[in-house]
Amino acid sequence: MALLKVEAVSKYFTSPGARSEFCVFKDVSLKVKEKEFLSVLGHSGCGKSTLLNIIAGIEAASDGYAYLDGKQIIGPGLDRMVVFQNFALLPWLTVFGNIRIAVKAAYPGWDRNKIHQWVQKYVDMVGLKGAEDKRPSELSGGMRQRVGLARAFCVGPRMLLLDEPFAQIDALTRGVIQEELVRMWEDTGITIFMVTHDVDEAILLSDRILLMSPGPEARIMEEMHVDIPRPRSRTSVIEHPAYYPLRNRIIRFLSRKDEDDQTKCVNLVA
């Protein structure tokens, strides 16, 4: 039985002064199984992040419904934690404080000592021991995202929603944090839904990849299973015989828009 169900969800926006609505995506349906790592790939503007926000309860669908554990999603909740690409840390709080605020919200009956021990557990888990008293302005991008991951995992959500979480991190640090994310995912069994534009990242991390067509009226066009055994590393993935066929298939799909855009430009010039 699926943990998450998205049924015929569409999203429309109306610009101020506009006479008609703009459809970002239309009739999107998907299912995510318990403990699965699912990624959604697509060009900018296809509505990946908007879809994630609807699942998070941050935005409302124009049509259709989303369900978690059989219950309709009608707003944000601690059963769905989001990690954003811009880190979204509270700048006046320390590393410890940013994580503690989530623990206190999730477990209001816990005493101070139990909260402290739980927060420290996740500080240590993401490799930030010794940085507990630093504020976000004193941290690198990679360290800030570690705080975001610790804050998300520490409340024990049913689902973790990742909105291009590594987009603002340099390539070397990104690889390290990706490996830490997979380790935490395997240790906790939390279901993960990630949107990304990075093909190699999706292949490295995911059990399954969904490809969205370009907007407007974007749709989920293809589903791909990543049949590369775990545990995975960047080296083992690129050496597996399934890697290049899968990667080439995704690149061909994404390249269709670029070819269409070039054709439109030629026609306009002509």
Please report the pLDDT score of residue 173 as a whole number: 86
Tell me the C-alpha to C-alpha distance, in Å, between residue 91 and each of 88, 136, 144, 233: 9, 6, 11, 34
Please report the pLDDT score of residue 266 as a whole number: 37
Sheet of 191-196: strands edge to edge?
80-84, 159-163, 191-196, 37-41, 208-212, 220-225
Contacts of 28 (CB under 8 A, 6+ apart): 6, 8, 9, 10, 51, 64, 212, 218, 219, 220
In degrees, rounded to 5, the angle at the alpha carbon of residue 220 between the alpha carbons of residues 219 and 226 is 165
In a domain, 19, yes or no: yes
Number of domains in the chain: 1
In a domain, 229, yes or no: yes
Sheet of 63-68: strands edge to edge?
22-33, 2-13, 63-68, 71-72
* Per-residue pLDDT tens over the stretch 29-88: 999 999 999 999 998 889 999 999 999 999 999 999 999 999 999 999 999 999 988 878
Owning domain of residue 27: 2-35+42-74+194-269
In a domain, 242, yes or no: yes
Region for residue 45 given its phi and psi (left: phi exceeds 0; alpha: psi -120 to 50; beta: otherwise): left
In a domain, 53, yes or no: yes
In a domain, 63, yes or no: yes
Please report the pLDDT score of residue 189 as a whole number: 93
In a domain, 177, yes or no: no
156, 108 Cβ separation under 8 angstroms: no
Cα–Cα distance between 261 and 160 in angstroms, integer?
A: 34
In a domain, 187, yes or no: no
| Sites in the chain below the pLDDT cut of 50 | 262-270
Going by C-alpha positions, the residue among 250, 248, 232 that lies closest to residue 240 is 232
Cα–Cα distance between 6 and 28 in angstroms, integer?
A: 7
In a domain, 179, yes or no: no
Please report the pLDDT score of residue 18 as a whole number: 64
Within a 10 A sphere around the Cβ of 141, how many other Cβ atoms?
18
- Looking only at the bridges linking them, the beta strands covering 37-41 and 191-196 are parallel
CATH code of the domain containing 260: 3.40.50
Token digits of residue 250: 């995704």
Handedness of CA 179, 49, 119, 36 (dihedral sign): negative
Please report the pLDDT score of residue 172 as a whole number: 84
Please report the pLDDT score of residue 167 as a whole number: 86
**How buried is residue 67: exposed, middle or buried, by Cβ count under 10 Å (0-12/13-18/19+)?**
middle
Token digits of residue 33: 């199984």
**How buried is residue 107: exposed, middle or buried, by Cβ count under 10 Å (0-12/13-18/19+)?**
middle
205, 224 Cβ separation under 8 angstroms: no
